Every structure is written in structure tokens, then in C-alpha cells.
Structure 1
Amino acid sequence: MREELIGKIEDRSAIIGVIGLGYVGLPLIDAFFNRGFSAIGFDVDPAKVEKLNAGQSYIEHISSSKVQGWRSEGRFEATTDMSRLAEADAILICVPTPLTPSRDPDLTYVEKTGEHIAAALRPGQLVVLESTTYPTTTRDLLLPCLEKSGLKCGQDFFLAYSPEREDPGNPDYSASGIPKVVGGIDEASCEIACTLYRNAVVQVVPVSSAEIAEACKILENTYRAVNIALVNELKVLLDRMDIDVWEVINAAKTKPFGFQAFYPGPGLGGHCIPIDPFYLTWLARTQGLTTRFIELAGEVNSRMPEYVISRLSEFLNEAGKPIRGSRICLLGMAYKKDVDDPRESPSFVLMEMLLERGAEVTYSDPHVATLPKMRHHDLPEMSSSDLTPEFLESLDCALIATDHTAFDYEAIVRHAPLVLDTRNATAKVTEGREKIRKA
């Protein structure tokens, strides 16, 4: 069975099943499709399935023409029918792993997905969890769920963990160009999973267990969260001293060793960096330990939207205006530059805070045409505003939350009465700098 599955992978006859057709799942399908594999995409959202089968993409960095190519070659289909998981030889799980309101891991999507797979599981299949989670999830949660099928891991089916490393909007690294860490529940599972990914990505990094692979992902993103917290805290201090933190960072990064530049912002965004450290702190509590350093970093980053609002209040006060009744436009709702991904974006927190304080809030984002429904935010329906001179002049302040390349910062500064810049996006604007404040 092991050799048969490896043979199907090597000759590209293996069918790849991807559960979760979002910012991780679709690029993964693209990577396998480009290497000659056929794929079935699974999602619980009928609207997504319908769009994909019609050749339409809903993610910017996976174009509709690409999806049409998948469909025209007859090697891709999307479905909500989880019983069809039996058709796949390799099943890759790319479902959300959010936090509960109390910041504990919410593995509901992983558990439900495991139940769907168990109901369709057949001998000779590989299952790989790619969703970010804490160490031991694959072995202690997913494995028992799958073995309820009556099949045994390592004999009848194979199970591994390989963390997603997708970076939406980064033109230098597609899913196929990023090394893949792979850890199996057993030796056979690791071998088969490594064989699968070697046939789709640039490099495979096998590790000794699923737990090592899970911890690797947590480390990668906690490292970033802690360093971002450092510069966020430094920013608050240096702002008070009237020292430009951005110039400080640019000077420091000229050192050719021992320093990596991280940048401050209005808060953390994306699915991984705001969430992963809290998975680690939760895990520490289950072991009777505390991760004070990591928890402090989480607190610092979580407070950044409040700091931005306080800076906005000071800025408006200088002009003799309160936040209540002021016309504020948030520039950028996506969590990072030049993407359409709104997951965990601090802009949604900023919008909620402004609305609670009585501001008249609008937004502009060339990548987010309408305000999406968010799991933890209840905001009014809203569409992106065009940044015409007349619109900018009607504002009390333009608040730059995401530094999209498409924004004309010179025009924004020229026409808006006040500009609060959380991303140093206006650094090269020379005229009208008296209207700009950093936050």
C-alpha cells in the first residue's frame, strides 16, 4: 500500500484533495496543478465552489484566468460534497484555526474536517494537516478522529503535518517556491508526505515528528510577533521623544550582521502572527508554565490600535476638533500592503473604535471593494470610497492603516486637511508635511 501510493505520486496519477479553498488552499492547488496533478477542492461555502467551477477566483493573487486554465484542462473541480474525499489519494487540510473570545485555540474546523475525512477514509490515503496549530494537535486530536474509521495509521492510511508558509502578495515566493517542513506520525507517513511535496515544491525539509513541524510553525510566527512588539514599544517611546522610529530602523539595518529589520504598525494582521503566540501561551498553561515574554509581546501588539486612536485624538485636538462627529477615512482594510486579505486586520479594530467614539467613518482600499463580514466584528455595510480631491477635502483626517502602492500619497497629503500615517507611507512626500503626523 505504501509503495503503491508513492508510485501514484511519482507518476502524477495521484489525485490531490484540498480542504479549505482560501488564501492557503488555492495557491496549494496551483502548485500541484502546475506539476501535472489533478485536484479536487473541498469547501463548505457553496458560493466559493460555484465561483471556482465557473472559472472565477475570489483571491487577487490567484487570477480567474488561472482557475479557468485548471477547469479547461479537466484536472480541477470544486465541491461541497465531503463524501468525495474518498476519491483523493492525498488529502491536505487548510481550514481556519482561530482563537476563541478568551484567546484559547479553536480547533472546531479541524475537528469537523477530521470527522468528514473519517467518514470517507479508505485504505491507501495520505492525510496532511497544514493549518497552524499547537504541537500535539495532529497526534492527539486528528489521529484518534481518523482511526474511528476502523483503519490504522501507518498501515491502512498515513498522517503528517506540514505547516503552510503562504505569504499573500509576495511576488518572490509562491507556494511552490517556499521550502516545506514535513513531520509524520510515523516513518512511513513522513516518507510518503515528503515524496508528495517533493513533486510540487522547491525543497522539502523532513523532521523527526509531527510535533517538531507543528512547533516550527509556532516558532516562526512567534519570532515575528515578539520582534514587531519590540519596535511597536520602541515607537511609542521614541514618538514621545520626538524621534523618528522609521529613521532609526533604517539606520540600524545598515549593519550587515546581527540585526533584522521589523517595522511598527497599527496592530498585527493576517491569520498567523496575531494568533500563533496565543496558541503557544495556551499550551504553556496546560503544562503548568507561563510564557511571560510572549504574553507581553501579545499585549503590546494588541494595544497598538488604542495607541493609534490616542494619537488621532491628539492630532484632531490640535485642530480644535473632537473625534465625535469628525469625518475619518481609513486608508486600507487589508492586513498588509497590496493584498486583498482582511484576516485579523487591525483596520477593523480601528473602525470599531472610531464608530464607538462617534466618528463618521469611511474607508478606501483598492483591493477590498466592499467591507467583508468578519467573524469578530459587527460593522455596517460599506463600500470603498474613491480618493477624489473633493472627497479628501471633505474629510477631517485621512488615517493611513495599510500602505498600498496604489494610493497616491502626494495627492492624499495635498487635499486632505490632516493625515495620520501609521506605516511611514508618506516618507517621500515633500509638500504639505505640516499636515502629517506619525502614529
Structure 2
Amino acid sequence: MAEPSAATTLEFSIVKQEFLDRIANKQAVIGIVGLGYVGLPLMLRFAEVGYKVLGFDIDQRKVDTLHANQSYIEHISAESIAAARAAGFEATTDFSRAGEADALILCVPTPLNKYREPDLSFVTDTTDSLVPYLRAGHLVSLESTTYPGTTDEELLPRIESRGFKVGEDIYLVYSPEREDPGNPNFTTRTIPKVCGGTTPNCQEIGVALYSAVIDKVVPVSSTRAAEMTKLLENIHRAVNIGLVNEMKIVADKMNIDIHEVIRAAATKPFGFVPYYPGPGLGGHCIPIDPFYLTWKAREYGVHTRFIELAGEVNSSMPDYVISKLAAALNSRKKSINGSKVLILGIAYKKNVDDMRESPSVFLMEKLRDLGAEVAYSDPHVPEFPVMREHHFELSSTTLTPETLAAYDCVLLATDHDRFDYNMIKTHAQLIVDSRGKYTNQADNIIKA
């Protein structure tokens, strides 16, 4: 292939400089593809700074909700949506409008299939939907968590199938999302943003774009390094949670409160970071991301034993909690079959409405399969949502002394701050605490 001429190189430089200028003067139009827990906060941040944002989603209900100045995510206010709309934000299901945007940021799910293998269909299908409308000067950024090589192996060939040359007349970067829904201490603006470009030109454009809305951007040498960075962050958490979950089981056998031990160990000012056990892993990242790396590592003949062992421990935690619950009921001459069990908290973590991969749902299904009459209470999830793989026609039970007393067992699965724990302790016949919320011993409390 012939080297580009000096004139061609100058043309590429002009295109790049024009893009940088549009970013600097806020004339660039930002396209956010996928308006969920990642895309929606990012949209708000770009709109807040003064960019026109065009949001894309396949769900017409989301588009309609946003155009009504309403939010479908609890920690994102209707007021913030209204402000973005007033600033020019528009949502659409029409992907043919992609050409109106200068940057297209992909924030779509990357789940696992039934074989626990990466399902990139959302990424590839979305890219295929956008490719016909790409134009010279576009920036494409993938934020979805995935295995190293996805940007190079899946996005780049699709983009270049249109005749574009990535790094010259179109730009491609990977910048992993780092959202922590419901965490008041960190925002989209203040969480440092990792960015890796396919080429130096791509990197320069990507860093410039994100620097306009994020306080600190961390450049890395490639899209693969950025992809691996995200996996390392979440695998670090998964492995450490696996360790502390295993320690919980050992401590329980020895009649030691693991939460007391963690609190004591955390007083050490160096060399220890506290992680906390629970009924299993939840959220879109921690339960899923390790499998993306283990799957890709097989291509290189590497068996990720440490990561997979942690995954086995974490995946076994719902069964451990059920066994503790069964033993607690049995001590009261009751069985799971026929018992009324109330699940406290069905979001995957405290103080949010995010149900993705929530261990509470797996607990509910296991209890239902064992014959229990299952109900739930969650102030953040008033109705059990429609989910692809889990089906319950339930609404949240209001907690009162009378309703609590009516259940054979109350299983604390997600420790929301809005629960009245004293009332629960006073009126519940039996509490199985999988979160270590109750620090003092009581006859009706079983640690799990």
C-alpha cells in the first residue's frame, strides 16, 4: 500500500484540527448510544457543559420518558433531564441520525450467554446499525466492558468496511465506563477516565473530547490496554470479595463474626483494604467481567485458575445463604417448603434501584423452587421489573409490625438505609442476615 502523499497528510491534519476546534468551542454534537446507567449520566454531563447531545436507544419507552422530562433511573432526577432537554438534548430510536453527531459513544450492555461466554451482540449489532451512517471526521468510542481486542477485532473492521482509514479520516477509541450508581462521593465528572486510541491521532481526539467534561483523563498506550484496565479493576474486586466470602464461611464454622474481624483488620493503616461478604455478586460488572478475560485467555493457552476459583466461590454464595436459612427454619421445626419468606432488598446493592445480576433474585428463585411463598420489600423497587431471565409478578411489601410478624423468615439480602432495622428486629420471627447489618446477637437473628 502506497504511503499517503504530503497533500493527503495535510488534509488529515486539517480534519483532525477541525474536530479539536469543534470540541474546544463546544460546537461538536455528541451522540450517546445506549441511555442506561452509563449513557444517561454521560449525556447529562455533556449537556451540562454546553454540548448538544443526541441520544440513541432501541427502547421507545426510554425515549418517550426522556422527552416527557422524566427519569427512569432513581438516582437521576427529573429536574436534570429537564435541564438537559432545555439545553437541546434529544433522544431517538432512529439510528440513521448518527451522521448528525460528531462523536458516537457506545454505552451498550455486554452480558454473558447461557454458556457463561461473552455476548457481544449488543456491541456488534449497534456498530452494524451505525456503520452505514458514519462519515469522515467521526469519532467512535466504545465504553462497554469487554475483553482485550474487542475494539481492534470487532469495531475497526466494521468501520473500515466503509472505506474509511481509522486514525486518518475517522477516529476510534476505547474508554471504559466507571459509573458507580448511587455513590454520592463520585460523579461522572470526578471519576478519572481511562482512554486508549487505535492510533495516536485517535488518542489525541479521544482525550480532548473526554477532557472537556471529565476532570482527569488517563491516557494509555492502546485500546487493548484500556480494555484490560477495566477488567483488572473489576476482577480485583471479584477476587477479593471471593476471598472474604470464603473467610465468612470459615469464620462461621468457628463461631466468629467475620464482620467484626473485618472492622478490626480495617484499623490497620496500611496493607489492608476492607471487602465485605454478601449473598453473592451483583451489578453489571463484577459478576460478569472476569468471564470475559477467562474466555479470551483460552485463546492464548492460559488458564486463569485464580479468577475462576473466585468466581466459583462467589457463585456459590446464594446456596450458602439458602442452607443457613433452611437450618434456621429447621431449628424452629419448619421447612422451606410451605414457609412464608420475605426478602429485604432486591437491588444488587444498597440505596439504588439497579437490579442487574442481583443475587436477591437468585435467592428468590431458589426459595420458590424449594416451595417457599416468596415476597419482597424494597423501597427503591416498588414493582418487580420485567427481566429477560427472571419472572415474578410481585410488588414491594410495606413493612409494618404486623406484616413482619406474618412471615416465617425475613432474609436481609440488600441492606438499604431506608429500612427500619430496629422495627424489623423487634417484630420479625426470624431474621437471616446476609449483610452483617446486625452487630449484636439475638435469638431471632442468624448470620449468613
Match of 1:56 in 2: 70
Tell me which of 405, 416, 425 is aligned to 2:417: 405
If the length of structure 1 is used for normalisation, what is the TM-score? 0.98
Correspondence for 2:12: none
Match of 1:421 in 2: 433
Query: In structure 2, which of residues 390, 396, 406 is the aligned counterpart of residue 394 of structure 1?
Result: 406
Kindly provide the amino acid, as one letter, of the partner of residue 393 in structure 2: E
**Alpha-carbon contact 1:118-1:147 (below 8 Å) kept:** no
In structure 1, the partner of 2:164 is 151
- Give, in whole Å, the separation in 2 of the partners of 1:380 and 1:256: 45
Where 1:228 maps in the other structure, the secondary structure is helix
Matched, 1:435 2:444: yes
Q: Greater CA deviation, 331-340 or 30-39?
A: 30-39
Partner of residue 384, structure 1: 396
1:8 lines up with 2:22 in the alignment? yes
Distance 2:205 2:79 in 1: 32
Instruction: Report Cα offsets for 1:369-408 as digits up to 9, x if no partner.
Output: 111122232x221100101111101000110000000000
- Partner in structure 1 of residue 150 of structure 2: 137
SS at match of 1:406: coil
SS state of the match for residue 362, structure 1? strand
8 A Cα contact 2:196 2:223, kept in partner: yes
Determine the C-alpha separation between the residues in 2 that align with 1:95 and 1:23. Answer: 10
Could you tell me how far apart the structure 2 residues matched to 1:426 and 1:410 are?
10
SS in 1 for 2:326: helix
What's 1:298 paired with? 311
* Counterpart selection for 2:83 from 45, 61, 69: 69
How many angstroms apart in 1 are the aligned matches of 2:312 and 2:387?
Answer: 22
In structure 2, the partner of 1:244 is 257
- Determine if contact 1:99/1:106 at 8 Å carries over to the other structure: yes
Instruction: Tell me the number of residue pairs that the alignment of Structure 1 and Structure 2 aligns.
Output: 434
Report the more deviating stretch, 234-243 or 148-157: 148-157
* Structure 1 residues 323-381: Cα deviation after superposition (integer angstroms, max 9, x where no partner): 0010001000100010010000001100100000000000000001111122232x221
Counterpart of 2:4 in structure 1 is none
Please report how far the alpha carbon of residue 299 of structure 1 lies from its aligned counterpart in structure 2 after TM superposition.
0.4
**CA-to-aligned-CA distance 1:197-252 (integer Å, 9 cap, x gap):** 10001100001100000000000000000000000001011111110000000011
SS at match of 1:328: strand
Give 1:54 deviation, angstroms.
0.9
Identity %: 56
For the 8 Å contact 1:327–1:361, the answer to whether it is kept is yes
| Within-5 A mapping of 1:99-110 | 99-110=112-123
Instruction: Specify which of 188, 194, 200 is matched with residue 181 of structure 1.
Output: 194
Secondary structure in 1 matching 2:158: helix
| 211-220 or 143-152, larger mean C-alpha shift | 143-152
Question: Among residues 37, 53, 70, which one is paired with 1:23 in the alignment?
Answer: 37
Q: Distance in 2 between matches of 1:69 and 1:259?
A: 43
List per-residue Cα deviations over 1:36-59 (Å, max 9, x = no partner): 111011000000010001101000
- Deviation, 1:159, is 0.2
> Distance in 2 between the 1:155 and 1:118 partners?
17
Indicate the SS of the match to 1:118.
Answer: helix
Structure 1 position 81 matched with structure 2 position 83? no
1:246-291, CA deviations, whole angstroms, 9 ceiling, x for partnerless residues? 0000011111000000000000000000001111110111211100
Q: 38, 46, 50: which is aligned to 1:32?
A: 46
- CA–CA distance in structure 1, aligned partners of residues 117 and 48 of structure 2: 38
Task: Output the CA distance in 1 between the equivalents of 2:187 and 2:66.
Answer: 20
- State the Cα distance separating 1:434 from its structure 2 match: 1.4
C-alpha deviations, 1:22-76, integer Å up to 9, x for none?
0000111111112111101100000001000110100011111110111123x20
Contact 2:113 2:119 (C-alpha < 8 Å) held by counterparts: yes
SS in 2 for 1:159: strand
Give the gaps of 5 or more residues in structure 1: none
Does structure 2 conserve the Cα–Cα contact (< 8 Å) formed by 1:329 and 1:363?
Answer: yes
RMSD between aligned alpha carbons? 0.9
1:380 corresponds to which letter in structure 2?
A: F
**Cα contact 1:160–1:210 (8 A) shared by 2:** yes
1:42 alignment partner, one of 43, 56, 81: 56
Tell me the secondary structure at the aligned position of residue 276 of structure 2.
coil
Tell me the alpha carbon deviations over residues 91-148 of structure 1, each in whole angstroms, 9 at most, x when there is no partner.
Answer: 1000000001111100000001111121110111100000000000000111111112
Q: Does 1:115 align with 2:94?
A: no
Partner of 1:176, secondary structure, is coil
SS of equivalent residue, structure 1 residue 13: coil
Is 1:282 aligned with 2:291? no
Q: 2:48·2:84 contact (CA, 8 Å) conserved in 1? A: no
| Pairing partner for 1:256 from 249, 269, 276 | 269
1:426 Cα deviation from its structure 2 partner? 2.2
Map of 2:223 onto structure 1? 210
Q: One-letter code of the match for 1:405? A: D
How many angstroms apart in 1 are the aligned matches of 2:247 and 2:209?
Answer: 44
Q: 2 CA distance for matches of 1:131 and 1:29?
A: 15
* Contact 2:176–2:194 (CA under 8 A) maintained in structure 1: yes
Distance 1:148 1:389 in 2: 64
Kindly indicate whether residue 233 of structure 2 is the aligned counterpart of residue 223 of structure 1: no
Q: For 1:295-322, what per-residue CA distance to the aligned partner results, in whole angstroms no more than 9, with x for missing partners?
A: 0000000000000000000000111100
Q: Structure 2: state its 5+ residue gaps.
A: 1-14
Letter in 1 for 2:53: A
Amino acid of the structure 2 residue aligned with 1:370: E
Letter in 2 for 1:424: G
Q: Provide the secondary structure at the position in 2 that maps to 1:363.
A: strand
